[in-house]
Amino acid sequence: MTQAGKKKKRAVNRSIMLAKKIIIKDGGTPQGIGSPSVYHAVIVIFLEFFAWGLLTAPTLVVLHETFPKHTFLMNGLIQGVKGLLSFLSAPLIGALSDVWGRKSFLLLTVFFTCAPIPLMKISPWWYFAVISVSGVFAVTFSVVFAYVADITQEHERSMAYGLVSATFAASLVTSPAIGAYLGRAYGDSLVVVLATAIALLDICFILVAVPESLPEKMRPASWGAPISWEQADPFASLKKVGQDSIVLLICITVFLSYLPEAGQYSSFFLYLRQIMGFSPESVAAFIAVLGILSIIAQTIVLSLLMRSIGNKNTILLGLGFQILQLAWYGFGSEPWMMWAAGAVAAMSSITFPAVSALVSRTADADQQGVVQGMITGIRGLCNGLGPALYGFIFYIFHVELNELPMPESSSGGSVVAQYHLQQNSIIPGPPFLFGACSVLLALLVALFIPEHTNLNVRSSNWKKHCGSHGHPHSPQAPGEAKEPLLQDTNV
């Protein structure tokens, strides 16, 4: 893109932002406190995932009590169904929010995502059933990112997305420890009541305090551009993967590396609780330490590596750390091994931000949304396939327990040894070794990705697709494809 074209695009963005401010000032936005801001989105995200984080330890217990014989398999199926439904529904909900506004869909997604919380103590079966079905609306991040895109200019967007992601991580750093302590001291019922109250507070905050970021006069429906099924097609971005060899290499790398990562997120804390004999407090502490180390790795360490060894080498280094981490999880038989591997896992979290940075730097300015959308689609697909795959591998290797480890036991080493003897297995965590092999393949594919190459998309239909369905008020920035490390850790 020429310098004149870039200046023209910046001028258009400034004009749109100015028009929004004028419309909002003139009463074009409905109820809310103040003007739309990133802080409204941050509070919504924090409250939702803080509520779910409180339930980390109680959910692991309820999951095993409800499915004592096939705990890992059922956990994988529940999270797999949720992930696939989210993947299928996210484009449609995003397109509808372009027409009907962000606030109503923030309310809808938060309400249905938090709806299963009070069911934990009412009916565990209904609790897990509603969790699975809630995947249709479990796309709060998509709506929040669109909300942020509405109210920020392009040069501000990466920082705004980083603030939202850091808030997500912060909520999961603190809440599992608080939930575990309250559960131990006062019982799980109090934790469920508190989580329900925080979820209701989030809903009330959206109703009362969150202003609409997309004024009615600025919505595409008023411009004669209703949504189409092409916009709502979750596979639309995946269909373009094979049209450029470099894009194909990047997408294969993301798929092979994120598939085991998604499966790990869905089952690892249950694995620590049941197989490694961690107490609820230890699981909460593990989440907190992993979250803090990951934040450091994705900020300070990542920036240093990008400047010193380059983008591609940073990706390769992150994949190497991921292979080591997964192999360590797979062969680890003692709690200290899990802690050591957790530190390596924090370093492996640099992979996807480095991939997003590579795409952002090498793709043409008018193709950012298309390429980043493909990578996001790949990750969404992995969020459905990964948990189900891990659950199935646990099942076929008979990694199950007859009873939950007692956290009151002081002889942690003998408890862990007893459970491993019950498993009668040389390898405690078979899915993690499968994941290590998958990431090794991703590393081999990543070796062929050029360090400095412009991603010229050869199909002219991409630009046509973006031009006919993209809206200047909600462009997809590179940061939109970034997702926090500890997503979906509530089960």
**Torsional sign, CA 265, 270, 272, 276:** negative
Strands (E), 4-108: none
Please name which of 278, 267, 276, 490 lies closest in space to residue 395, comparing C-alpha atoms.
267
Cα separation, 282 vs 261, whole angstroms: 21
Cα separation, 257 vs 249, whole angstroms: 12
pLDDT: is 291 or 436 the higher one?
A: 436
Please name which of 66, 72, 86, 98 lies closest in space to residue 428, comparing C-alpha atoms.
72
To which CATH superfamily is domain 237-399+428-449 assigned? MFS general substrate transporter like domains (1.20.1250.20)
CB 234 within 8 A of CB 124: no
Q: What is the pLDDT of residue 88?
A: 82
Please name which of 258, 246, 160 lies closest in space to residue 479, comparing C-alpha atoms.
160
Question: Does 384 have pLDDT greater than 60?
Answer: yes
Using alpha carbons only, give the angle 208, 114, 352 rounded to the nearest 5 degrees. Answer: 100
Q: Among 62-71, 212-221, 385-394, whose mean pLDDT is lowest?
A: 212-221
Convert the pLDDT of each residue in 148-206 to its tens digit: 877 877 666 656 776 777 777 778 777 888 888 888 888 889 999 999 999 999 999 99
Average pLDDT rounded to a whole number, residues 292-301: 82
Cα separation, 407 vs 426, whole angstroms: 24
Cα separation, 39 vs 151, whole angstroms: 11
Measuring CA to CA, how many Å separate 199 from each of 47, 81, 111, 344? Answer: 7, 23, 8, 33
pLDDT: is 201 or 476 the higher one?
A: 201
Residue 452 Rama label (left phi>0; alpha psi -120 to 50; beta): beta
Percent of the chain past pLDDT 70, that is, above it, reads 69
Residue ranges per domain, the chain? 31-213, 237-399+428-449
Measuring CA to CA, how many Å separate 68 from each of 136, 162, 240, 354? Answer: 27, 40, 43, 40
Beta-bridge mates of residue 455? 363
pLDDT: is 220 or 23 the higher one?
A: 220
Average pLDDT rounded to a whole number, residues 93-102: 79
Please name which of 381, 166, 173 lies closest in space to residue 286, comparing C-alpha atoms.
173
CB 351 within 8 A of CB 315: yes
CB 189 within 8 A of CB 54: no
Helix (H) or strand (E) segment spanning residue 218: none
Domain 31-213 identical in fold to domain 237-399+428-449 = yes
Cα separation, 227 vs 219, whole angstroms: 11
Convert the pLDDT of each residue in 108-134 to its tens digit: 989 998 999 999 888 888 889 888 888
CB 137 within 8 A of CB 93: yes
CB 213 within 8 A of CB 151: yes
Cα separation, 137 vs 44, whole angstroms: 15
pLDDT level of residue 352 (50, 70, 90 thresholds): confident
* Cβ partners under 8 Å of residue 240, min gap 6: 247, 370, 374, 457, 459, 462
* Cβ partners under 8 Å of residue 39, min gap 6: none
| Residue 433: how many other CB atoms lie within 10 Å | 18
Length of the chain: 491
CB 244 within 8 A of CB 367: no
* Cβ partners under 8 Å of residue 153, min gap 6: 13, 14, 17
Q: What is the pLDDT of residue 32?
A: 66
Question: Does 444 have pLDDT greater than 90?
Answer: yes
Measuring CA to CA, how many Å separate 434 from each of 225, 276, 323, 384? Answer: 46, 19, 10, 17
Mean pLDDT score of the chain = 74
Displacement of CA 216 from its chain's centroid (Å): 30
CB 172 within 8 A of CB 49: yes
Average pLDDT rounded to a whole number, residues 315-333: 89
To which CATH superfamily is domain 31-213 assigned? MFS general substrate transporter like domains (1.20.1250.20)
Q: What is the pLDDT of residue 53?
A: 87
